[in-house]
Amino acid sequence: MLNYIRIENLALMNEVSLEFSPGFTVVTGETGAGKSVLLGALSLLSGARADKTVIRQAAQACHVEASLFFEAPCAINKFLDSLGLPLCEDGTLLLKRIVARDKGSRVHINGALAPVAVLQRLGELWVDFHGPGEPQKLFHEKYQLAMLDLFAQVDELLEEYQVHYRQWTDLLQQIEAIKNTDQLNEDELAFVQSQIEAIEAVDPSVESVTALESDFNRLSRLQELSEAAGNLEAGLSSSMPFPELIKKAQVLVEIDPSTAKPLEERLHSLIVELEDLASEYGSLVQEDAWDQEAIQATQTRMHAWLEIKRKYGPDIASVLERYKALKQKVALQTDLEGMLENLNTQAQTEEKKLRSLAENLHVRRVKAAKLLARDSSKLLLSLGFKKAGLQIEMKTEPTLGPAGYSTCQFLFSPNKGQDLLPLNKIASSGETARVMLAFKAVLARADNTPLLVFDEVDANVGGEIGAVVGQELAKLAIGHQVLCVTHLPQVAALGKNHYVVTKDTVGKGTQVTIKAIDQNPQERVTEIARMLGDRESASALSHAEELLYKATQPKAITAS
């Protein structure tokens, strides 16, 4: 769950630090007060794209950091460990993101730098956002199938299917490529073979080519090398009055053996080293160091290598890539039928496995579709649909797709006597919002995401239905931490934790502030009364007190 968040210089927010508790948290405030700042901060920490415009005017960067606690951080730690990032200490995950005006974004996970993409993947494990546009997703059958799969808990089976599906489609692509391969005649095949042999003749490995280029460079400057080495040998040999030096050193030894003897030994070692140097420089100009046959072979290989590079690429990697393609081309020509037969056999084996997995997926989806429709229909009854109909229609396709061969369609009828039709054909915006909430409430039982964030999910509903929406959100908070931005007093009254967002003019600018009021009963009554229409009205204040009192009663929220 989310324990703590600090926001600095985000949008109109100067700086705020908030502590969070488990359960149902509501965020309220006037329209346009800036309630989305808190959601924006959470969005940044979950890896959302960050535009420079999110930085508060006159500030150079915005900072968002949070602390989250997981009773069982196994999944989080497994993900962090796979990327070499520090694990959670005592179940605590520390996140920080900095968006700078003139620099790149920086992300810290448990104190270590990480890419934004990692933050995004990590976000999938701890937070799930449900915004105003969420109900519209229900109109898409792909999203409907994803919701059904979440309820059916087929993650492992679907992942296994998709691994085999990728292997199967890869085999089909190879088969198609071979079928489209032109058959070479005898002369064309011989030409390709000659290209292969030309490349093989120069042995195009990194080590071989490096040695060849070194030898060729040395060969091209052989005369210069010989002259320089000869001069060095002659110079060393002619400037070596070694016997005279030794005699003088020995005289000193006779006069002062304790001091001169070590010096004589060092002189002797130096003379031996100079003689070795002269000998080695002399070996560089020996006539047999480079015989004509070796010189000719090196020149021939170098000319061949330059020709190969001219034809096939500027470097060894390009040449080797071309070599591989030529070899594959010859291999295809020599046994096209055999390769096709082998690939077809593999593809048939994979397809058989896929169809078995797809059948298992379909069976589990059909069973889950009935349960999801049944449980969601019960919830729709409490959300004001007294005679609504809801059904999840399952079909199969003849061809295999990335998710199997199942398709599903959510059918809905808001009133008795109406035919069940696809949601986008019949449901109004308010109806769609309530249907989505019903599905989300049921799906939450199968969803392990700790934090659920709802942004005005209660839009387009009110009155008694608004109270039911609040009760359902509060029920979700029994197994999750729920954060909800709301305009409905019936929902706000049920919040265990309550934050108020205000926007004020400060000097020449505007500033947004957030503060907790759940520990101040009078402030909370005043805020609920404001949401009812008039914070100064005695009747509104009385109604607010009644809503808050009812929310504390044992029957206010019961787990379904």
| Angle of the 186-201 helix axis to the 316-334 helix axis, nearest 10 | 150
β-pairing, 481-485 with 451-455?
Answer: parallel
**Residue 28: its H or E element:** strand 24-29
Contact 480, 449 (CB under 8 A): yes
Long-range pairs, 511-517, Cβ under 8 A, ≥24: 511/12, 511/13, 511/14, 512/11, 512/12, 512/13, 512/33, 512/34, 512/37, 513/13, 513/16, 514/13, 514/16, 514/18, 514/27, 514/37, 514/38, 516/18, 516/19
pLDDT of residue 319: 84
pLDDT, tens digit, for every residue of 306-357?
888 888 878 888 888 888 887 877 776 666 777 788 999 999 999 999 999 9
Under-70 pLDDT residues of the chain: 132-136, 181-185, 221-243, 281, 284-291, 332-335, 426-430, 458-463, 554-560
pTM of structure: 0.64
Q: Classify 481 as helix, strand or coil.
A: strand
Domain boundaries, the chain: 186-336
| Angle of the 336-382 helix axis to the 141-152 helix axis, nearest 10 | 80
**Residue 77: its H or E element:** helix 74-82
Question: In the block, which residue shows the tokens 């005006």?
Answer: 101
pLDDT of residue 193: 82
pLDDT, tens digit, for every residue of 127-168?
988 876 666 677 788 888 988 998 999 989 999 999 999 999
- Two tokens, residue 433: 């919002």
For residue 92, the cross-strand partners are 69, 89
Kindly report the average pLDDT of the chain as a whole number. 84
pLDDT of residue 135: 61
- Two tokens, residue 131: 């915004």
Long-range pairs, 319-322, Cβ under 8 A, ≥24: 319/199, 319/204, 320/204, 322/199
Of 202, 219, 225, 223, the C-alpha closest to 296 is 219
pLDDT of residue 182: 65
pLDDT, tens digit, for every residue of 213-245?
887 877 776 656 666 666 666 666 665 566 677
pLDDT of residue 287: 47
Of 163, 139, 145, 165, the C-alpha closest to 366 is 145
The DSSP result for 384-437, as a single string, is: T-TT-EEEEEEEEEEEEETTEEEEEEEEEESSTTSPPEEHHHH--HHHHHHHHH
Question: In the block, which residue shows the tokens 């005043």?
Answer: 526
**CA–CA separation, 106 vs 123, rounded Å?**
16
Phi/psi of residue 481, nearest 5 degrees: -90, 125
Residue type, 175: I
Of 431, 491, 423, the C-alpha closest to 455 is 491
Q: Classify 519 as helix, strand or coil.
A: coil
**CA–CA separation, 489 vs 28, rounded Å?**
9
Phi/psi of residue 105, nearest 5 degrees: -70, 145
